[in-house]
Amino acid sequence: MSWIDHWEPEKPEFWESTGKRIARKNLALSIFAENLGFSVWVLMSIVVVSLGSVGFDFSVGQQFWLLIVPNLVGAVLRVPYTFAVPRFGGRLWTTISAGLLLIPCTMLAYAVSTPGTPYWFFLLTSAAMGLGGGNFSSSMANISFFYPEGKKGLALGMNAAGGNLGVAITQLVVPFVITFGTGINLAYAALIWMPFVVVATALAWLFMDSLTQAKPDGQSYKLALSNQHTWVMSFLYIGTFGSFIGYSFAFPSLIKLSFVDYKGWVALAFLGALIGSVARPFGGWLADRVGGAKVTLGTFVGLAVGTIGVMVSVDSRNFALFFGSFIALFVLAGVGNGSTYRMIPAIFRTQSADDKSAKRQAAAVVGIAGAIGAAGGVLVNLVFKFSLEGSKTLTPALTAILVFYGLCLGTTWWFYLRRNVFAARPSLAYAGV
């Protein structure tokens, strides 16, 4: 196996002569595998829109459970996946996690090609798609070990954005692929990814590396779990990433269910995830310049305004406002993803005199917040499900989401921006939170 025993990225001479080339190679292959993970994770978001066209007549509630289950499984898997890299090595675990994507693809191809496939098998298939959701945490953990501290931000931002783009790629490609030939061929939605999964698996095994210094750090996790800021930032990440992934799963279905006359626009649902993914690095960049908490606060103000725009559009049956407001929500969620992740290391620099311990705790919080934030997508789809089943409209769900954004806004201000906080902990202001 390709294990590297000597790795000193903080030494400029080592980085320039050896480290940079190896790190970039592993980053590129990691992005490829993670991108496919996201692509498979959200695959049901497009497939569920067309199930009725091929003879599977599921209720609105059943359709939303097909969206909720992969989101839930992916969120849960992010915790063990974070520890998998230190246990198995980045090379082996990337190979395994990429290869596992063949399971949901095979199951989906069978399910949609077999008349009378029971609903429980579709639920099981959706659960298997959650395997792709866990890839984010292991990929981010792996790449963090390769880069020096001064270059981790950009590398992890590229890795995260590259993975998030898998959502947009699926929602762009699949609506066209399934119409090849005559009628709707939903099996193509699964089959198209399988060659790429095989290639990603082979490339990971043949060319990626594992670092022996990437050891598990249980003490940092214990310290992080006992720190209130871990839970505050996880709560805020529910509002940003939870919104991004929740809306990504729901947006195509919401177009079809809320504006039947515009269901052809489902093919453009990918624009939300695409713009939101691209906006993520911008959020981190902006936070570096004006402070993560200020950007995050502004993000939640914008998310609240965008939600009101969706509410008005639903009441007035204005599709242009509906679509535009959702695109704005995606952009703001992407910016918020970048700014909240930027806040974490800044906050934990103020929590410990030991710089190394602070960095390890921050890394632990990134994994914890990533899992909890992904679970936020489950909550988003649950409120949409109950709202559409109960009142046949999105208004109750949007009202609940609006209230939640208000809580996120207040939390950001209370913990990181009110004047008394800086009076008691001036280091927070100094850290650029």
Compute the distance between CA of residue 408 and CA of residue 414 in angstroms, rounded to an integer.
Answer: 10
Q: What is the mean pLDDT of residues 29-35?
A: 96
pLDDT of residue 198: 98
pLDDT higher than threshold 60 for residue 318: yes
Query: 220 pLDDT band (50/70/90 cuts)?
Result: confident
Compute the distance between CA of residue 249 and CA of residue 133 in angstroms, rounded to an integer.
Answer: 12
Residue with tokens 């249980």: 218
The CA distances from residue 110 to 2, 62, 115, 116, in Å, are 36, 19, 10, 11
Mean pLDDT is lowest, of 42-46, 258-262, 331-335, for 258-262
pLDDT of residue 420: 67
For the entire predicted model, the pTM comes to 0.88
pLDDT digits (tens, 9 = 90+) for 84-124: 888 899 999 999 999 999 999 999 999 999 999 999 999 99
pLDDT higher than threshold 50 for residue 197: yes
Side-chain-side CA neighbours of 161 within 13 Å: the count stands at 22
Compute the distance between CA of residue 80 and CA of residue 77 in angstroms, rounded to an integer.
Answer: 6
Q: What is the mean pLDDT of residues 265-291?
A: 90
pLDDT higher than threshold 60 for residue 380: yes
Q: What is the mean pLDDT of residues 173-182?
A: 89
Mean pLDDT is lowest, of 62-71, 99-108, 145-154, 408-417, for 145-154
Ramachandran area for residue 31 (φ above 0: left; ψ -120 to 50: alpha; else beta):
alpha
Query: Regarding predicted confidence, which is higher, 399 or 348?
Result: 399
The CA distances from residue 209 to 96, 132, 203, in Å, are 14, 21, 11
Compute the distance between CA of residue 229 and CA of residue 348 in angstroms, rounded to an integer.
Answer: 8
326 alpha carbon, distance to own chain's centre: 17
pLDDT of residue 431: 45
Question: What residues contact 93, with CB distance under 8 A and at least 6 apart?
Answer: 84, 85, 87, 138, 142
pLDDT higher than threshold 90 for residue 170: yes
pLDDT of residue 199: 98
pLDDT of residue 216: 60
Q: Is the distance from CB of 193 to CB of 40 less than 8 angstroms? A: yes
Compute the distance between CA of residue 252 and CA of residue 395 in angstroms, rounded to an integer.
Answer: 18
pLDDT of residue 184: 87
pLDDT of residue 430: 39
Burial label for 164, CB within 10 Å (0-12, 13-18, 19+), is: buried
Tell me if domain 1-216 and domain 217-433 are identical in fold.
yes
- In the CATH scheme, what is the homologous superfamily, with its name and number, of domain 1-216? MFS general substrate transporter like domains (1.20.1250.20)
Q: Give the residue extent of every domain in the chain.
A: 1-216, 217-433
CATH topology of domain 217-433: Growth Hormone; Chain: A; (1.20.1250)
Residue type, 90: G
User: H helices of 214-354, where?
Assistant: 218-225, 228-258, 270-290, 292-316, 319-348
